[in-house]
Amino acid sequence: MKVCIDKPQGGQAHALDGWLEVSGWAAGSTPVCDVTVAAEGCNSVRANYGGSRPDVGEAFPGFHGAAFSGFSAFLRIPADVSKWPSKISVTALCRNGDTGVADVPMPDLLHHIHEEEKPLAACSCCHYGKMSEQPAFISGPYRLQQCDRCGYASTWPSVPKSLLQAIYRDLYWQHASQRPDAREEHYDSEFIANLIKTYHPTARKVIEIGCGPGSLIFGLNKRGYQVQGHDASEEAAKLAKEIYGLGVTVGTMAELPPLAEADVVVMRHVVEHSRTPCEELRVLMRSLKKHSTIIIITPNIAGGLASAMGASWEWFVPPVHLSYFSPPSLATLAFTEGFNSLLIDTRKGDGVAAGEVLPFHDAYTKSEFEIALAKESKSFPEGDCTDFTCASPGLLSDNEVIAVLQKR
């Protein structure tokens, strides 16, 4: 088997309130049943496992469930520098007893301190619901609080701007699994184009916010649309120019290009990255012309996988993902801002079928899924996890929420 630590690497790493994120992948000939992160003088941590890693799946097709082999954990580092460990170790165990170990030297830490604040009392989406902590969603320093009325959820404490800038400036698009293959369009290009044809057939100008390296707008441009991209990462903009020859503006949601001429704005897996998505969406909505359309695709906090897995859910990855919507919360936000909800729907997942982590990794998270499956009056399959293809369709079909909204 193989174990690889992607983060931390190099001489420096970012830590929030003494918590250091350790992430990478582990896979072998049989399912992985345990990944532990340890360092001398620190409490060992069992990592969340099952994150999407299509790059590993392509590189190691013979490994069991390699496409869902990502792990992540937060390790609490002592405040006293003299007590820092010399190295960090990750140990993975396969069902057949095979063990793999990877080590990295302890990096120099760039410390970030979260802003002193209290958890939100009222929901910033519907303004009426009460926010309460969800004990199933805890990862290192981060907690999840959720509205009891519309289902909107956000992490707490807030991530410092300095850490967010470091993530998108230095880290996010450097990851191998995020980089597109040269000149290949995004696998959602046809799906998004069909939504535009169905709900805004006269549209010509499409702006994608959070376009990354541009594979989606490249696909839409091939289908005849005038396109423009915007992203927070300079690295992503460089990739868009290098790979697709597309110009992408760089900036935050507060630094958007003019939207008055946009017929359609696409935000695919973007709003979950924001500390204040409701406020930013309201500003965006008010800047659009009449009958403009917004297409939003984002992880569904009300979905079966989120409910079953809690903090092990692949989309609960603070400090990268900070905010979460459900179908009711997006519909509520649209209504209050003068938009018609042309479509509010759910689907299986983000390209690679996120729900397929169930049969590949039942040994790792079986107890968590037994609870959810029992609620659906289904028994958990016994024997080798390759004996079935879907533990429960209800858990797999609504991992993302899709909203098509049109300004009245």
pLDDT digits (tens, 9 = 90+) for 327-338: 999 999 999 888
Across residues 215-228, what is the average pLDDT? 95
**Does residue 246 have a pLDDT over 60?**
yes
Query: Is residue 292 scored above 70 in pLDDT?
Result: yes
Q: What is the mean pLDDT of residues 239-246?
A: 88
The arithmetic mean of pLDDT across residues 7-32, rounded, is 84
Is residue 392 over pLDDT 60? no
Confidence (pLDDT) at 169: 62
Looking at the predicted structure, is the pLDDT value of residue 183 above 50?
yes
Render pLDDT for 126-165 as a digit per residue (tens, 0 to 9). 998 999 999 999 988 889 999 999 999 999 887 777 777 6
* HEC readout, the chain: CEEEEEECCCCEEEEECCEEEEEEEEECCCCEEEEEEECCCCCCEECEEEECCHHHHHHCCCCCCHHHCEEEEEEECCCCHHHCCCEEEEEEEECCCCEEEEEEECCEEEEECCCCCCCCCECCCCCCCEEEEEEEEEECCEEEEEECCCCCEEEECCCCHHHHHHHHHHHHHHCHHHCCCCCCCCCCHHHHHHHHHHHCCCCCEEEEECCCCCHHHHHHHHCCCEEEEEECCHHHHHHHHHHHCCCEEECCHHHCCCCCCCCEEEEECCHHHCCCHHHHHHHHHHHCCCCCEEEEEEEECCCHHHHHHHHHCCCCCCCCCCEEECHHHHHHHHHHCCEEEEEEEEECCCCCCHHHHHHHCHHHHHHHHHHHHHHCCCCCCCCCHHHCCCCCHHHHCCCEEEEEEEEC
Q: Compute the average pLDDT of residues 368-396.
A: 39
Residue 174, pLDDT above cutoff 70: no
Confidence band (pLDDT; 50, 70, 90) for 95? confident
Better pLDDT: 292 or 18? 292
| Residues forming beta bridges with residue 294, ordered by sequence position | 265, 405
Give me the pLDDT at residue 201, please.
97
pLDDT for 5 beyond 90 = yes
- Rg, C-alpha atoms of the chain: 21
Contact 35, 131 (CB under 8 A): no
Residue 117, pLDDT above cutoff 80: no
The per-residue pLDDT for 267 is 96
Pick 114 or 136 by higher pLDDT. Answer: 136
Q: So what's the pLDDT on residue 310?
A: 87
- Give the pLDDT score at 298: 96
pLDDT higher than threshold 60 for residue 360: no
Q: 113: pLDDT confidence band, cut at 50, 70 and 90?
A: low
Q: Is the pLDDT of residue 383 over 90?
A: no
Distances (CA, A) of 150 to 122, 327, 354: 11, 9, 24
Q: Which of 33, 186, 176 is nearest to 97 (CA)?
A: 33
Indicate the pTM of the whole model. 0.79
Q: Taking residues 388-395, what's their average pLDDT?
A: 42
Judge whether residue 212 has pLDDT over 90: no
The pLDDT score that the predictor gives to residue 380 is 33
- Average pLDDT of span 14-43: 88
* Stronger pLDDT, 300 or 381, i.e. the higher one: 300
Cβ atoms < 10 Å from Cβ of 277: 26
Cα Dmax for the chain: 65
**Is residue 38 very low, low, confident or very high in pLDDT (cuts 50, 70, 90)?**
very high
39, 18 Cβ separation under 8 angstroms: no
Reported as a single tens digit per residue, the pLDDT across 60-74 is: 999 988 988 889 888
- Residue 8, preceding peptide bond in cis (omega within 30° of 0): yes
Residues 378-405 have a mean pLDDT of: 55
Question: Does position 373 have pLDDT exceeding 80, yes or no?
Answer: no
All domains of the chain in start order, with CATH: 2-112 (2.60.40.10), 142-352+396-407 (3.40.50.150)
